[in-house]
Amino acid sequence: MDGGEFHASVYEAVRQIPPGRVTSYRSYHDSGHIALLISMPRHARHVGNALKFLPEDTDVPWQRVIGASGQISSRGPGTTGAERQRAALEDEGVVVQEMRVNLNQFGWFPASL
């Protein structure tokens, strides 16, 4: 699997996340999460990297991928990505408090696709 296929696999998996639900790059939950769903469980960091390459107008629901602790990841000081993610999630009904989501309520962790 080359880099392009990796990105495509990530996007395909992310598209499966239902509206109003969130999942993680790779979580301690036995089932679910993007890196496991594409059979590359140790590539959590690269899942985030793939999302970084998405254009502004993509239809891939990137906002539904957050950290395993429920945290919306910071993009670093002076960036607005995390804030846009919070707004996008709230728009579809996800409750965000202090930049974090309750995974017990909104988490989506299927065993497979």
Partner DNA sequence: TTATTGACGGACG
Partner DNA sequence: ACGTCCGCCAATA
Q: Report yes or no: 84 and 4 within 8 Å, Cβ to Cβ.
A: no
Query: Which residue lies nearer to DNA by CB, 16 or 49?
Result: 49
Beta strands in the chain (DSSP E): 23-24, 65-66, 96-97, 100-101
Residue 3: exposed, middle, or buried by beta-carbon count in 10 A (0-12, 13-18, 19+)? exposed
Query: Which residue lies nearer to DNA by CB, 47 or 101?
Result: 47
Question: Residue 92 corresponds to which tokens in the numbers above?
Answer: 């579809």
| Least distance in angstroms from the C-beta of 20 to DNA | 17
| Least distance in angstroms from the C-beta of 96 to DNA | 14
Residues that bind DNA (CB under 7 A): 3, 24-28, 33, 42-49, 51-52, 54, 62-63, 65, 67-69, 73, 75-76, 81, 85
| Least distance in angstroms from the C-beta of 34 to DNA | 8
| Least distance in angstroms from the C-beta of 93 to DNA | 18
Query: Which residue lies nearer to DNA by CB, 25 or 106?
Result: 25
Residues 6+ apart with CB under 8 A from 28: 68
